[in-house]
Structure 1
Amino acid sequence: MKKLLTGAALSSLLALSATASQAADYVIDREGQHAFINFKISHLGFSWMYGSFNDFSGKFSWDANAPEASQIEVDLKTASVDTNHAERDKHLRSSDLLNVDENPTARFVSKKVSSTDGKTLDITGDLTLNGVTREVNVDAEFIGEGEDPWGAYRAGFAGTTRIKLKDYNIMMNLGPASEEVELIISFEGIRQ
């Protein structure tokens, strides 16, 4: 009986260590331009205005066999906002909106990841923007992973979330159609 219990315990430890060995840390690939943080917001209810944040960095851990153990952190420079219109971008950086002089960095840190099928992820985390931290939920998709042609190993994801501007002390009234902004995130990470 003792041998049977010892064997079962050893098998459990081996299975646990095999699972743990599959978890990996990744750095978001900004240098290769395989990462994007975009947004869209209604312009007065007449059309969509699209933009990007061009300067950000991040890292994540990922194990396809245990997505709930995943973590992600992303930092972005708010002054890197780009809507392809210099005067509008200047206004976005002002104290009316992103207030980049006082709050030059926005940050997202995950707190919980859940998945029902291994492909669709529900990521809950804290988003800090304009000096305010609030919990948000990101609807994400695991796109794929594998070795690239240059010998590195990559994993890719995409996700969206919506935030209310007033929740982040952005009080400028842009009209009822423009109270929320949709964030659209897509990135590849390179395994370290």
Structure 2
Amino acid sequence: MLKKTLITLAISSALFGGLAQAADYKMDTERTHAFVNIKVNHLGFSFVTGTFRDFDGSFSFDANKPEEAKVQVTLKTASLFTNNAERDKHVLGKDFLNTSKFPEATFVSSKVVPTGTDDKGRMTADVTGDLTLMGTTKPILIKATLIGDGKDPWGGERVGFEGTSSINRQDFAKMMDLGPQSNTVELYFTFEGIRQ
């Protein structure tokens, strides 16, 4: 009886030990293993893509309790790069992002709902949260996928995700009208987090 009890305790410890609390992670922006990208239709002819080069974020995550995950990100809006200096100057100005008045955008999650796995067997979830852009806060939904987790070559522990979402830019501020086909901004995120 004692032996059976000890075996049960050992198994329980192996399965649940250390999993009672989610681990905290810092996004690896210093080594550029994190990206926030956008894609916008240009007048119905093509797409303009860009990336924000200055942002930071953190998150907590426990693979056994993904619904308890939390994430927050702050980015510098003036760091948007679209590979054309004149266009960048225009987009960062008053016609669009007005970065001198609104230098930061933030995202703070409020709810995580696991949705199963993708065709590669990777965990997926719907992440709802508040996006604050140009002084306006709106809820958005991010379709997230766990890319992988484990030890890195430098002795640390990492976990990585990617996610997609879309927003209507006119929901956040009245910007230059380029037609309805240019109102939707597609967002793509991918990042590695280093366990703290």
Tell me if TM exceeds 0.5.
yes
Q: Does 1:133 pair with 2:140?
A: no
Q: Could you tell me which residue of structure 1 aligns to residue 91 of structure 2?
A: 92
Which ranges of structure 1 fall in alignment gaps of 5 or more residues?
1-9
Match of 2:57? 58
What are the Cα deviations for residues 98-119 of structure 1, in whole angstroms up to 9, with x where unaligned?
0101110000000000103261
Match of 1:3 in 2: none
Shift of 1:16: 7.3
**1:143 corresponds to which residue?**
147
C-alpha change, 1:27 and 1:116, in structure 2 (3 Å) is same
Helix, strand or coil for the counterpart of 1:166? helix
> What letter is aligned with 1:81?
L
1:128-159 alpha-carbon deviations (Å, 9 max, x no partner): 00110000000010111000011010000000
- Paired residue secondary structure (1:173): coil
8 Å contact kept, 2:40–2:182: yes
Alignment partner of 1:190 is 2:194: yes
Please state how far the C-alpha of 1:95 moved relative to its aligned partner.
1.1
- AA at the equivalent of 1:96: D
User: CA contact under 8 A between 1:98 and 1:170: conserved in structure 2?
Assistant: no
Q: What secondary structure sits across from 1:19 in the alignment?
A: coil
- Bigger drift between 115-124 and 131-140 goes to 115-124
Q: CA RMSD in A?
A: 1.9
**Paired residue total:** 181
Alignment partner of 2:102: what SS?
coil
- The offset of 1:170, in angstroms, is 3.5
Query: For 1:152 and 1:86, how far apart are their aligned partners in 2?
Result: 38
| Structure 1 match to 2:5 | none
**One-letter identity of the residue aligned with 1:188:** E
TM-score by length of 2: 0.88
Q: Letter of the 2:176 partner, please give it.
A: M
Instruction: Name the CA distance, whole Å, in 2 between partners of 1:103 and 1:16.
Output: 45
Give the unaligned 5+ runs of structure 2.
1-8, 118-122
SS in 1 for 2:67: helix
Q: CA deviation at 1:19?
A: 3.0
Query: Would the aligned equivalents of 1:106 and 1:129 in 2 still touch at CA under 8 Å?
Result: yes
Distance 1:154 1:19 in 2: 16
CA apart distance, 1:81? 0.6
Deviations 1:62-111 (A, max 9, x none): 00000000000000000001000001000111111101011100000000
- State TM-score, norm by structure 1: 0.89
Does the CA contact (< 8 Å) of 2:115 and 2:126 recur in 1?
Answer: no
Look up the match of 1:159: 163
